[in-house]
A = this chain, B = another copy of it.
Amino acid sequence: MTTRGEMWQAEILRLLRQNHAPVKAYQVLATLRKIHGKLAPTTIYRALSALQERGRVHRVESLNAFIACQSRRDKQPSILSICNECGSVEESVAPDLLNDLSNVIGETGFSPKRHVVEVHGTCASCNSRKAQA
């Protein structure tokens, strides 16, 4: 059985997967409105939250935007590399590094629950493009 909510999730996930760059909630909203007419932000945000919980979508905190998960090694917290030039986002998984991070901040007695690691810079292809110029 497919609930209405699950349909929104599926459709949004498909949309996000078509983009290699993060997509804003209101872009999603506008796109879906073209297809389905009237539609409230709430619907989008609810679907996006569910997708995040299911580990299908990352919220890019430093952009207020969303991107489909690439590596699906089951909800491993990811490191996002965001290119300032072309907007593309690469996902890396580095458990050791996040472990170190947990240890460093754990020294003061802090217990980590959620890691937000986002790095802004220039991606490989934009780097080489600029090197040529």
With CB as the reference atom, state the residue of chain B lying closest to A122.
B111
A50 within 8 A of B: no
A37 within 8 A of B: no
User: Does B92 lie within 8 Å of A109, measured CB to CB?
Assistant: no
Q: 5 closest A-B pairs (Cβ-Cβ)? A: A109-B124, A112-B121, A61-B62, A116-B118, A113-B121
30 A–B pairs (Cβ distance < 8 Å), ordered by A: A61-B62, A61-B116, A61-B118, A79-B101, A79-B104, A81-B105, A83-B110, A92-B105, A94-B101, A97-B100, A97-B104, A101-B117, A101-B119, A102-B119, A108-B124, A110-B121, A110-B124, A111-B121, A111-B122, A112-B120, A112-B121, A113-B120, A113-B121, A113-B122, A114-B119, A115-B119, A116-B116, A116-B117, A116-B119, A117-B117
- Chain A interfacial positions (CB closer than 8 Å to B): 61-62, 64, 79, 81, 83-84, 90, 92, 94, 97, 100-102, 104-105, 108-125, 127-128
